[in-house]
């Protein structure tokens, strides 16, 4: 499962794993462990924002994050519509989500 750039931090009461990943990595993690998938805007060039998707699974003592997935405005807006105008969705462990066109989760 671990592909790409991974950073592991160990703290007295927790361990953090940060990974630059792909949407397929998020799909795999959600299907196995659940977690939160988020879409959000970031400052961009020429006053036009950029858009990203990320994933977070927090199960004490672990915090697992997949980030660095850039999406376009259409994907951002479509995903928010699919999530009832929310910029995130929480999935239970074992959830079966489908990734359409390597862009959207349903």
Give per-residue pLDDT as tens, 27-84.
899 999 999 999 999 887 777 789 999 999 998 888 999 998 999 999 999 999 999 9
Residue 58 within a domain: yes
- Give dist(CA 18, CA 33) in Å, integer: 16
Give the model's pLDDT for residue 14.
Answer: 87
Cβ–Cβ contacts within 10 Å for residue 28, how many? 16
Residue 100: closest CA among 73, 88, 84, 82: 82
How far is Cα 104 from Cα 48, in angstroms, rounded to an integer?
A: 22
Domain that holds residue 21: 6-89
Is position 27 within any domain?
yes
Query: Which residue would you say has higher pLDDT here, 10 or 36?
Result: 36
Domain count, the chain: 1
Q: What is the pLDDT of residue 2?
A: 52
> C-alpha distances in angstroms, 99 versus 19, 23, 24, 49, 75?
19, 8, 8, 24, 12
Listed residue (40, 64, 58, 60) closest to 50, CA to CA? 40
Q: Is residue 43 in some structural domain?
A: yes
What is the reported pTM?
A: 0.84
């Amino acid at each position: 499962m671990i592909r790409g750039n991974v950073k592991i931090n160990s703290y007295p009461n927790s361990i953090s794993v940060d990974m630059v990943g792909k949407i397929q990595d998020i799909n795999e993690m959600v299907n196995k462990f659940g977690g939160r998938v988020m879409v959000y805007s970031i400052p961009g060039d020429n006053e036009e924002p950029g858009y990203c998707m990320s994933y977070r699974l927090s199960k004490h003592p672990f915090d697992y994050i997949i980030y660095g997935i850039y999406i376009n405005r259409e994907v951002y807006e479509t995903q928010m519509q699919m999530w009832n105008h929310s910029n995130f969705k929480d999935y239970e462990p074992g959830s079966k989500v489908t990734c359409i066109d390597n862009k959207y989760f349903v």
